[in-house]
Amino acid sequence: MMRSLLIPLCATLMLGGCVTEGGQEKPKPSAREASMANLNLGVAYLRRGDLEAAVGKLQKAVDIDDRNTQAHVTLALAYEQIGQAEEAGRHYQRAIRLSDNDAVIDNHYGAYLCRNGRLDEAQTYLLRAARNPRYRTPEAAYTNAGICAVRGTQWDKAEEYFRSALQANPRYALALWQMASLSYQRDRDLQARAFIERLAAIGELPSNVLWLGHRVEQRLGNVKAADRYAQQLRTKFPDSSETAQLLEAQRDGG
């Protein structure tokens, strides 16, 4: 969504025009161009972690052109980061009204709704995004829908959505992780092991997966495999919260 947003901004925009090398004055940027220029600046500030400056530029972008959907969505994301969920929702809703069934916006809004406890409504938008034939990454929206279903303890729905994500992209790591975690929660340890192995085939396992792998193998009675996961966790991630949990469990005899 952040691609192709860079619009050249003349350094003397505030003076009402820019003089070219030939001495002719360039026309004043349109409202759309000025809005996009502020959007680009806002995105740059977001990437640098300067949230206050980002919100200022993004707010200016929508003030200049209230129909700039990209600016509304990006401003909503920024407002979420500073803890202003209600203001974020207002800009998400404006973007939804302006967009023509935009799956990216639906996915962002659905994730926002889920984060704010509106689980059923969230799944409606996330599934609409996932099933949009123009959406290039349906696995992301399906996974978000699954995470939302987990929060609502809708285990069967969650599994259905995660499997749909993996059907769209069998190597989508977040969906594989969610399926491994969900399988463990539902006491399906062999299934959890299979998803962890699929994650291992993609790349190096992060601390949360190593910790889960250790617990899965413990429950399956495979002491050697459990120890291998524990050793990797202690060696590669000595300061992680998962390693702290492992050491605590070992002290308690677990």
Q: Does the pLDDT value for residue 18 go beyond 80?
A: no
| Residue 11 pLDDT exceeds 90 | no
Contact (Cβ atoms closer than 8 angstroms) between residue 243 and residue 237: yes
7, two tokens: 């619009």
Give the angle 192-195-197 at the CA atoms, nearest 5°: 110
Least Cα distance to 103 among 140, 72, 134 occurs for 134
DSSP code at position 66? T
Query: Do 63 and 80 contact (CB within 8 A), yes or no?
Result: no
DSSP 29: P
pLDDT at 3 over 80: no
Burial zone of 94 (CB within 10 Å; 0-12 exposed, 13-18 middle, 19+ buried): buried
227 CB contacts (<8 Å, ≥6 apart)?
none
Is it the case that residue 147 has pLDDT exceeding 60? Answer: yes
* Residue 249 C-alpha from the chain's centroid: 32
Looking at every residue in the chain, the average pLDDT score rounds to 90
Which residue in the block uniquely carries the two structure tokens 């980002």?
54
Report the alpha-carbon distance of residue 72 to residue 78 in Å, rounded. 10
Burial class, 30, CB count within 10 angstroms (exposed 0-12 / middle 13-18 / buried 19+): exposed
Question: How far is C-alpha 137 from the geometric centre of its chain's CA atoms?
Answer: 12
Which band of pLDDT confidence, cut at 50, 70 and 90, is reported for residue 4?
A: very low
CA-wise closest residue to 126 among 112, 142, 150? 142
Residue 243 half-sphere exposure, CB side, CA atoms within 13 Å?
12
Q: How confident is the model at residue 29 (pLDDT cuts 50, 70, 90)?
A: confident
Sketch out the chain's domains with CATH numbers. 32-99 (1.25.40.10), 101-195 (1.25.40.10), 205-254 (no CATH)
Closest CA relative to residue 40, chosen from 13, 2, 81: 2
Q: What is the pLDDT of residues 186-242, one digit of tens each?
A: 999 999 999 999 999 999 999 999 999 999 999 999 999 999 999 999 999 999 999
Tell me the per-residue pLDDT of 110-120, one tens digit each, with 9 for 90 and over.
999 999 999 99
pLDDT of residue 28: 76
Q: Report the DSSP pairing between strands 25-26 and 18-19.
A: antiparallel
Tell me what pLDDT residue 91 has: 97
Query: pTM of the full predicted structure?
Result: 0.85
Note the pLDDT of residue 24: 60
pLDDT-derived band at 254, boundaries 50, 70, 90:
low
